[in-house]
Each structure stands twice: as C-alpha cells, then as structure tokens.
Structure 1
Amino acid sequence: MDISVVIPLYNEEESLPELTDWIRRVMLSNNFSYEIILVDDGSTDKSWKIIQDLKKSNEQISGIKFRRNYGKSAALNVGFAATQGDVVITMDADLQDSPDEIPELYDRIMNKGADLVSGWKQKRYDPLTKTLPTKLFNSVTRSVSGIDNLHDFNCGLKAYRKDVVKSIEVYGEMHRYIPVIAKWAGFKNIQEQVVQHYPRKYGTTKFGPGRFVKGFLDLMSIFFVGKFGKRPMHFFGPVGVVSFLIGFFITIYLICEKLMSIANGTVYRNVTDQPLFYLSLLAIMIGTQLFLTGFIAELLSRNSSERNKYHIESVI
C-alpha cells in the first residue's frame, strides 16, 4: 500500500464527509493505493455514526473509537500502530489542512529521501492569541532540539516514512514534538514543506491555553529521556557531585577560618552562626540527593525491559 492517512478527530461531524471525499479524489487522480484511518478521540457528537456510514461507501476507510477523550497524542499513537502504507500522512479533521499537498509530501519521502516532512503554515488563519504563543514555542523547540530548519513543529499535516511511525511512541502532549522524538530515535533527514492553511469551516478549536504549559513540560521530558534515558547517572551524577563539592568546600573554608581566628586570638562568631554555613549544608544535601536519584534511576534503567531496545536501520 502506498499511503496511510491518519486523522485524529474530536467532534468533527460536519467536516468528515467533505474531508474524506477530498482525500479520495486526490488519491484516485494520482493512482495511489491508500487507506484512511479515522481515530475518534471520544467524540460526543455524531462523528462515529458518520464514520460508520463513510465506511459503507468507501472500503478504504477504517475507524477507531476511544471510549473517552484521551488527547491527540494518544489518537496518533494508536493510528500509527494500525497503518500499513509505505508513507504515513497525518492531518487534522477540521479542513484547515489540504489533501492536495499529499502528492508532494509522498514524493519527498519516497523519491527525495526524507524520513519526515513537516508542514509549515506560512500564512495562518488563526487568532493572534494562538499564533504568538505558537511562534514562541517553535523558537524554544528549535533551540532545545537543534532542529533549526523547521518553523512549525505543531502543524498537523506531516508525512512520515513507515519506519518512523513504527519506531516512536507518542503520548501526553508530545504530538507537537514528533520531529524531536524522531530525531532522538535516529531519523535525521527531517524536512519542511510550505503548505496551504485554510480558515476553520465548521465548529471551534478544541485546544485551550493550557496546552502550552503541558507542551513545554513535554518538551523537557523529551529532551531528558532522549539524551539521558539510557544513562540517567550522566545527568544527575555530575550535577550532584558539583553541588556536594561546593557545599563541602564552603564548610571546610568556614571551619578553617574559625580555627585561624582562634589561633590568632581574635574574636570570631561561631561557624553555625553564619548563613553561609546553612547554604553549604543545603548544597551538600541537594548534591547527595541528586547523586542517589541518578544511582536509583540507573538501577531502574538497567532492569527495564527496554534497556537493550535500539532502533536498527539495516542488517547485511
């Protein structure tokens, strides 16, 4: 099969018939073999009934329904597991992403060697309250991840080589950082394509301002797990040792200063009367705790069932 289209959705009953018909026309005009996987993320409207009806008229359509709303990341993760196509396309169900972009996305994966192609909505039809925070998060993500050629990490329209979606796990709010997850998994050819963005035709956005806080926390999680997931002591150990040594040497300094004052016969306050002494003790305790945290994390990592799971590109 050439293409799998994964569409997570929540209460999008109005747009589904138009979207699937649009995808079908694009696929037929380009002679692609395809499947459309609609993942209903616990909709409370008639979305699932419409998916059932669409399945009857188009055998390329399949549906997955959650019992409750788990979020876009969960929907994508389940959809990825069900794909069979050589190229996997994701898009939103609100008709703001254009299926007409699919042929070029497919070509860049199959013929130009890209592992992942992320859409860039260069001209957006979203309110300022959505576009400004998005620009800030994209800037932070570029700095943290080192993927400096992407302008829009959160664009729903993306294309993946099959190996990519079968090698990564998406959860929490991490769908916006899939290029980062793919990079940490070893897929380096990550490209960008300017795509058409349309105004929302039906309904309202399902994402609130809280998604930015969750997204930032997930970015920190991705950075830590990707870099130190299999060697946590390399993160906690050095920081803990440095903190411990700072506290230890400050304490030694204070004690030596006290002994010198006694030897010189000068009056000097007790070591424990100085605020610096308590700061040194705090540094020692924090350093010890960080070192022990790294040690325990290392033990857990070595006993994890995932400890020797590595992504192998090829074997000859």
Structure 2
Amino acid sequence: MDISVVIPLLNEEESLDELYNWIAKVMQSNCYLYEVIFIDDGSTDASWKTIEKLAKEHEPVKGIRFQKNYGKSQALDAGFEMAKGAVVITMDADLQDNPEEIPELYNLIIKEDFDLISGWKKKRYDNVVTKNIPSKLFNAAARKTSGLKLHDFNCGLKAYKNEVIKSVKVSGEMHRYIPVLAKNEGFTKIGEKVVQHQARKYGETKFGMDRFVNGFLDLITISFLSKFGKRPMHFFGLWGTFMFLFGTTTAFYIGAVKLYKVFNGIKTILVTDNPWFYIALTSMILGTLLFLAGFIGELIIKTKTNEKHYSIKEKLNF
C-alpha cells in the first residue's frame, strides 16, 4: 500500500464526507493505493455514524472509535499502530488541511528519502490573539529547546515513513513533538514544506489557552526526556550526589569547628542552634531522595511495558 491517511477527530460530523471525497479524488487522480483511517476520539455528535456510512460505501475507509475522549496524541498512536502504507500522512478533520498537498508530501518521502516532512502553515486564517501569537511563541521555544529548525511544530499535516511512526510512542499531549520524538529515535532527515492553510468551514476550534500552557509544560517534559529519558540516574544521581556531598561536608565542618572551640575553651553555641546544621541536614536528605529517584527511574525503564493509555470501543474494516 502506498499511503495511509490518519485523521484524528472530535465532533467533526459536518466535514467528514467532504474531506473523504476530496482525499479520494486526489488519490485516484494519482493512482495511489491508499487507506483513510478515521479515529473518533469520543465524539458526542454523529461523527461515528458518518464514519460507519463511509466505511460501508468505500473500502479504503477504516474507523477506530474510542470509549471516551483521550486526546489527539492517543488517537494518533492508535492510527499509527494500524497504518499499513509506506508513507503515512496525518491531517486534521476540519478541512483546514488541504489534501492537494498529499502528492508532493509523498514524493518528498519516497523520492527524496526524507524520514519526516512537517507542514508549515505560513499564512494562517486563525484568530491572531488566541492562536497565532501563542503559536509563534510556542514554536520559537520549541526550536530553541529541540534544535529542530521547524516553523510550525503544531501543524497537523505531516508525512512520515512507515518505520518512523512504528518507532515513536505518542502519549500524553506529545503529538506536537513527533518530529522531536523521531529525532530521538535516530531519524534525522527531517524537512519542512509550506502548506496551504484554509479557514475553518464547519464547527469551532478545539484550541484553548489551556492547550497553550500544556504545550509549554510538555516542551519541558520532552526536553528532559530527550536528554535523560533513558538514563534518569545521570540527572537525579548527579544532583543527588552533589547535594549529599555538600550536606556531608558542611556537617563535618560544623562538627570540626565545634570540637576545636570546645578543646580550646572557647564559648560556643549548641550545634542545633546553628542554622547551617539544618541546611546540611536538608541537603543530605534531598540528596538521598534524588539519588533514590534516579535509581527507581532506572528500574522502571528496565521493567516497563508499552501499555496503551486508551480504550477502543469499535473498529471498522480492519
């Protein structure tokens, strides 16, 4: 199979028929063998009924229905697991991503051997205050932290080699950082393509300020995981050892000064009246806890299983 199109969605019943027909037109005009995987992330409207109708009428349509709303990352992860195409294209279901971009994205992966191509919505039709400005700030921080010179990490329109999406594990709200996750797995040929962004035709945006805040928190998380995700002891153990040695050295110094003054008949305060005693004690306790955190982190990594963080209610055409 040439292409798998993976489309996570939440309450997008009005756009699904039009979106599939548009995708099918592009695929058929280019003679691609393809599948379109819709992942219903707990919709409360008639989205799943529309997917059922499309799956009954069109063999390439496949559907996954979640038990409840788990989030875009979990939806993408479920779609990636099922995708069979040599090239996997992700796009949003709101018609703001243009299926006409698919042939060029496909060629960049197949003919120019890119591992991943990320879309860049250079000209946007979103609200400037609630989405455009926060998005620019977020992308600037993501570029600085990750080292990837992409302009639009959050663009839903991306293309991947199949082996890339089978290698990355998308959870939490890490869908914004799939290029970073791919880079961490050794896929370094990552490119960018300017894509057409279209104004929303149906429904309302799912973007809110909470997603902007969560994006920056996830950025901190993935920055840490990129460096220490597979070796937490290198971080926690280092700082734990440093703090424990600082506390121990300080405690010995306080004790030595106390003994010197006692032997020389110099009047001195009790050790417990010295504030540095409590600083040293706190440092030793924190150092021990940090070291234990690193040790436990190493044990978790060695024993963890790739459990799913979502529950699938139904599947169609798989």
Normalised by the size of structure 2, how large is the TM-score? 0.90
Q: In 2, are the aligned partners of 1:244 and 1:286 still within 8 Å (CA)?
A: yes
Question: Counterpart of 1:82 in structure 2: which amino acid?
Answer: M
- 2:146: which partner in 1? 145
Distance in 2 (alpha carbons) for counterparts of 1:305 and 1:74: 16
- 1:135: which partner in 2? 136
> Which structure 2 residues correspond to residues 93-108 of structure 1 after superposition, within 5 A?
93-108=93-108
CA deviation string 1:141-172 (max 9, x = no partner): 2222221x111111100000000111111111
1:235 corresponds to 2:235: yes
Q: Name the Cα RMSD after superposition.
A: 1.8
SS at match of 1:205: coil
Q: Which moved more, 1:118-127 or 1:218-227?
A: 218-227
Distance in 1 (alpha carbons) for counterparts of 2:190 and 2:101: 17
- 2:313: which partner in 1? none
- 2:219: which partner in 1? 219
Q: Which moved more, 1:204-213 or 1:275-284?
A: 204-213
Distance in 2 (alpha carbons) for counterparts of 1:256 and 1:101: 73
- 1:164: which partner in 2? 164
Q: In 2, are the aligned partners of 1:184 and 1:227 still within 8 Å (CA)?
A: no
Distance in 2 (alpha carbons) for counterparts of 1:159 and 1:301: 30
Distance in 2 (alpha carbons) for counterparts of 1:11 and 1:280: 56
Question: Counterpart of 2:40 in structure 1: which amino acid?
Answer: D
> Which structure 2 residues correspond to residues 162-311 of structure 1 after superposition, within 5 A?
162-263=162-263, 265-304=265-304
Q: In 1, are the aligned partners of 2:4 and 2:84 still within 8 Å (CA)?
A: yes
Q: How far is the alpha carbon of 1:73 from its aligned partner?
A: 0.8
Q: In 2, are the aligned partners of 1:96 and 1:198 still within 8 Å (CA)?
A: yes
Distance in 1 (alpha carbons) for counterparts of 2:305 and 2:23: 40
- 2:74: which partner in 1? 74
Q: Which moved more, 1:209-218 or 1:191-200?
A: 209-218
Q: In 1, are the aligned partners of 2:131 and 2:207 still within 8 Å (CA)?
A: no
- 2:50: which partner in 1? 50
Question: Counterpart of 1:250 in structure 2: which amino acid?
Answer: T
CA deviation string 1:108-133 (max 9, x = no partner): 11111110111111111112222222
Normalised by the size of structure 1, how large is the TM-score? 0.90
| Structure 1, unpaired ranges of 5+ | 307-316
Q: In 1, are the aligned partners of 2:130 and 2:208 still within 8 Å (CA)?
A: no
Greater relative contact order (Cα 8 A, min sep 6): structure 1 or 2? 2
Distance in 1 (alpha carbons) for counterparts of 2:44 and 2:304: 39
Q: In 2, are the aligned partners of 1:41 and 1:66 still within 8 Å (CA)?
A: yes
SS at match of 1:144: helix
SS at match of 1:238: helix
- 2:7: which partner in 1? 7
Q: In 2, are the aligned partners of 1:114 and 1:191 still within 8 Å (CA)?
A: yes
Distance in 2 (alpha carbons) for counterparts of 1:155 and 1:288: 43
Q: How many residues are treated as equivalent by the alignment? A: 305
Distance in 1 (alpha carbons) for counterparts of 2:120 and 2:84: 26
Q: Which moved more, 1:260-269 or 1:181-190?
A: 260-269
CA deviation string 1:41-64 (max 9, x = no partner): 111111111112222332211111
Call closer, same or farther: CA 1:302–1:79 in 2, change over 3 Å: closer
SS at match of 1:198: coil
Question: Counterpart of 2:138 in structure 1: which amino acid?
Answer: F
SS at match of 2:45: coil
Q: Which moved more, 1:224-233 or 1:38-47?
A: 224-233
| Structure 2, unpaired ranges of 5+ | 307-318
SS at match of 2:269: coil
Q: How far is the alpha carbon of 1:304 from its aligned partner?
A: 4.2
